[in-house]
Structure 1
Amino acid sequence: MRNQRAEREAAAAALSEFIRHSEKEPALLEQMVEELCQHVTDDSPTVRSLCLRGLVQIPESHILNYIQQVLGVILALLEDATESVQLTAVQCLLTVLNVSEQDAVDPILISLLVRLRNLQISMNTKMRSNAFAAYGALSAYGAGSQHHAFLEQIHATLPRLILHLHDNDLSVRLACRNTFQLLAPLMEVDGLSSLLNKQYFTSDRRSDYEDFIRDLTRQLCRLSPVRVDSYLESAIQAFDAPWPVIQANAVCLVSCMLSFLDDQRFLAPYFSQVFAMLVGRISQSPEAVVRAAASSALGLLIKRSNMLKSLSSRFDRTDPSQSSQHGEPHAKTSSELQEEAAAKPNGAQGEQ
């Protein structure tokens, strides 16, 4: 495998195929594993992929002896410079997780989750679907020593998972639904699992998806303000996602969350920011699905802001000194918010 590139690729292909037949030759198997591990840094993407595919074909009776080596190679190649090698790494991860043990996965669990999150926004649909699927497969290892950090990663990924439940690609939608079902019992959110048993969760109709979002956000808004804040920031960033349907999904998710929250001090900065962005989407987006979602969301938030104004007026009549004592701003009317929206530029960044 030290000769010309084509010869190395041919040798890697032969070795990766032969390794599955080495069950009764442990000494030979060890040599082949060592050889494959040495060449996963080859300058040929084909050689790197073939070596990794060979490693995950180690006979099942021996795989546990090498599982940490194999997982280490997968972890490294998830960040490979070549997309095809990254995709191979994700697919191989799905294969070996079926035979791995907690002790082998624990040391790299969080690193795997972080790398998979980076691949979930790939423009390659196979990459997205496999990255979401692998994220769900790792749920089997979430109860180990990394449990707390694992939960934090799940919550960090939740907004993106919700948005891609209605991805344009069917394979991504199915992967996200399956992953959501695997992660929901671990998230400690009341009522979440029951929503996944309803018909609208598996429907491909946009109206059903929006109904699901409305019911889901009712549950999410009961979580801590810190958690809700992180969801909103992540979803607002997705207003500029590269897929129009994901932009529309983000608009729906954010507006529903803001409509169910009660803390006016928490809501005020988000209302101003989101109003401005929605007005911009209605007037500037070339995509009908985005304009429709923004228009619907704007109407929802105007209704919500009028309700907040009414509640604030009642509060001020009850204790007119409270607001001035604490220096809190008054609840803005819908016209004030729209004026702010027209005056401010869009501030969102790309989806994370």
Structure 2
Amino acid sequence: MVEIWQTLSQDPQLTTAMIDHMLEKLHKSLPYEERQNEEEVTRTATSLPMAVTCALKIIFDCEETEEQVLKAYHTLMGALMLRIGSSVGVKPVKQKEMEKEDKSKGKKPVPVTSKNPEPSKTAVETFRSFLVRTKSTDVIEILTEEECWEKFEEEENYPEAFTILTRALVSSSVAAPHVSQIVASLTSALSSLYDPQRVVVAAFFAELINQKCMDNADLVELVMNSLLGRLVDSSHKVRMLCIRGLGNIASVSSELVKKYSTTVLSAMMAGMDDKEDPDDDITTEAMSGLSRILCEIEESHIRAILINVSLKIRPCFEKEKPAVRAQAIILFGNLSRFGDGPSKAPFLEQIHSNLVSLLLHLNDPEIEVKKACKFSLRLLGPLMGSEAINSKFQRHLLEDANLIYGEFLNDLAKLMIEEFPDKINFYVMGCVSFFKSLWPEIKSNAALFVGKTRSKSINVLV
């Protein structure tokens, strides 16, 4: 059978016809059957897409098909990307028992089973053959260096693999000219009934914006509108990737940032309010996107929601996931860019309200949270109205410097009593709530803060 396909592939017209026919079959056929019980959802591959995937590999492995494969580069690329996504975590086609009767020996029929290929491995191998045939060696090198071949087959990591693939395509001498056509071929799949296909397209579109490769304003609008349209997707992975893509608008020209700023800010706020986000992935992406966008917009764009953002992210300072805590703290620090304008007074109140949390998490058990606190306190220092405290933040809270926390808190407590005597009771009461913190380190930090503040207060009174 393989020999027949190889022979047919040597005819250019037949090859073109076969590729078109197979792409049509992939587009119209069900990628898998899904069954759900009380415990899990099981996906089982269907035979037709598996057969088409195997047949495409035979075509790609034939040297004579290079010209025809290159002509269909964008449609094949899009179809194979969707096929990989549709194969992740999918079980092989159900094995069919066949009866084999050896009449010559008079034996009874014997059930025979044949092991069917793994859908994910088959899809990835076919994709690799496609890249080899089109001489996309630069793409192959990047995917190999980033260990993407394995990630393509892993349910947790395949979105990241497609993010890396997008970067590779944009920088590839072979693939880059086809990017616009690949986008066009994938746009409809963002409304697919199958979650993995929507995940693939969302990951591709999100990173495409980040790579600044869309000089065409119409293409930018198409991708942005596509991502905005899926913010209510049933899959939290799709929603998360859409939020990431919209946040990536900060990577493109300032004109486009201004054009989409209101829309994107609204989307980020909605992302932070997502109620079906068990691991806070969407919230983290929304805060990360906001941090990037804040560096590119004017104060007038955010004035109306500045305090609202501050209030929304405050609970995230105490989230169990370190990445969420870190992003929330970084975002609060980035809000300082707008804290010296018309919103100065209300934002200063937010600084005082969050100061205890930032100081306690300065000695957080996670390094990334410690660094986030240092970053934010350095940005917030100039807005606090105390040259002494700001100077201490700037000198001691360097990102990679080793901070002797006890000594720092001891010196800072004295300065805070001198500079903000009317706030001390407020700070102490703020510390009390941290006595029930999830982390022993934060409980200890709170007790230390109260102790230092009280002892210094006594000394000052004496």
The TM-score, its normalising length taken from structure 1, stands at 0.69
Q: 2:410 aligns with which of 201, 209, 214?
A: 214
After superposition, residues 257-336 of structure 1 pair within 5 angstroms as: 257-261=453-457
Deviation at 1:233, TM superposition (A): 0.9
SS for the counterpart of 1:242 is coil
The match for 2:343 is 146
Q: 1:56 aligns with which of 247, 257, 262?
A: 247
The match for 2:202 is 12
The match for 2:218 is 27
Measure the CA separation in 2 of the matches of 1:197 and 1:47.
Answer: 40
The match for 1:47 is 238
- Any conservation in 2 of the 1:125–1:172 contact (CA below 8 Å)? yes
The match for 2:92 is none
Deviation at 1:223, TM superposition (A): 4.7
- Any conservation in 2 of the 1:218–1:260 contact (CA below 8 Å)? yes
Residues 21 and 187 of structure 1: is their aligned pair in 2 closer, same or farther, counting only changes over 3 Å?
Answer: closer
- Any conservation in 2 of the 1:200–1:212 contact (CA below 8 Å)? no
Measure the CA separation in 2 of the matches of 1:200 and 1:187.
Answer: 16
Deviation at 1:192, TM superposition (A): 0.4
The match for 2:281 is 84
The match for 2:382 is 185
- Any conservation in 1 of the 2:227–2:245 contact (CA below 8 Å)? yes
Q: 2:333 aligns with which of 109, 113, 136?
A: 136
Supply the AA of the counterpart residue of 1:54: G
Indicate whether 1:229 and 2:412 are aligned: no
Measure the CA separation in 1 of the matches of 2:303 and 2:388.
Answer: 29
Of the structure 1 ranges 194-203 and 98-107, higher mean CA displacement relative to structure 2 is found in: 194-203
Measure the CA separation in 2 of the matches of 1:154 and 1:56.
Answer: 25
Indicate whether 1:72 and 2:266 are aligned: yes
Measure the CA separation in 1 of the matches of 2:292 and 2:393.
Answer: 26
Deviation at 1:111, TM superposition (A): 1.4
Deviation string 1:158-202 (CA, Å, 9 cap, x unpaired) is 011111111111111111112111111110135102323555887
Measure the CA separation in 2 of the matches of 1:56 and 1:152.
Answer: 28
Measure the CA separation in 2 of the matches of 1:242 and 1:98.
Answer: 33
Measure the CA separation in 1 of the matches of 2:394 and 2:257.
Answer: 37
The match for 1:297 is none
Deviation at 1:11, TM superposition (A): 2.8
Deviation at 1:2, TM superposition (A): 2.9
SS for the counterpart of 2:372 is helix
SS for the counterpart of 1:144 is coil
Measure the CA separation in 1 of the matches of 2:337 and 2:394.
Answer: 21
Deviation at 1:214, TM superposition (A): 1.4
Measure the CA separation in 2 of the matches of 1:127 and 1:15.
Answer: 24
Measure the CA separation in 2 of the matches of 1:54 and 1:121.
Answer: 26
Supply the AA of the counterpart residue of 2:445: N
Measure the CA separation in 2 of the matches of 1:21 and 1:190.
Answer: 41
When Rg is computed on C-alpha atoms for both structures, the one with the higher figure is 2
Deviation at 1:45, TM superposition (A): 1.0
Deviation at 1:57, TM superposition (A): 3.0
SS for the counterpart of 1:191 is helix
Measure the CA separation in 1 of the matches of 2:293 and 2:412.
Answer: 33
SS for the counterpart of 1:222 is helix
Which runs of 5 or more residues in structure 1 are unaligned? 263-303, 312-352
The match for 2:452 is 256
Deviation string 1:127-152 (CA, Å, 9 cap, x unpaired) is 11121111111111112221111100
- Any conservation in 2 of the 1:16–1:57 contact (CA below 8 Å)? yes
Residues 8 and 226 of structure 1: is their aligned pair in 2 closer, same or farther, counting only changes over 3 Å?
Answer: same
Deviation at 1:34, TM superposition (A): 2.3
Q: How many residues align?
A: 264
Percentage of pairs with the same residue: 28
- Any conservation in 2 of the 1:166–1:204 contact (CA below 8 Å)? no
- Any conservation in 2 of the 1:39–1:51 contact (CA below 8 Å)? yes
Deviation string 1:86-144 (CA, Å, 9 cap, x unpaired) is 11112212222221221112111111111221111111111111211111111111122
Supply the AA of the counterpart residue of 2:299: Q
The match for 2:357 is 160
Measure the CA separation in 1 of the matches of 2:372 and 2:214.
Answer: 33
Supply the AA of the counterpart residue of 1:64: K
The TM-score, its normalising length taken from structure 2, stands at 0.53
SS for the counterpart of 2:318 is coil
Measure the CA separation in 2 of the matches of 1:252 and 1:229.
Answer: 15
Deviation at 1:204, TM superposition (A): 4.4
SS for the counterpart of 1:196 is helix
- Any conservation in 1 of the 2:316–2:328 contact (CA below 8 Å)? yes
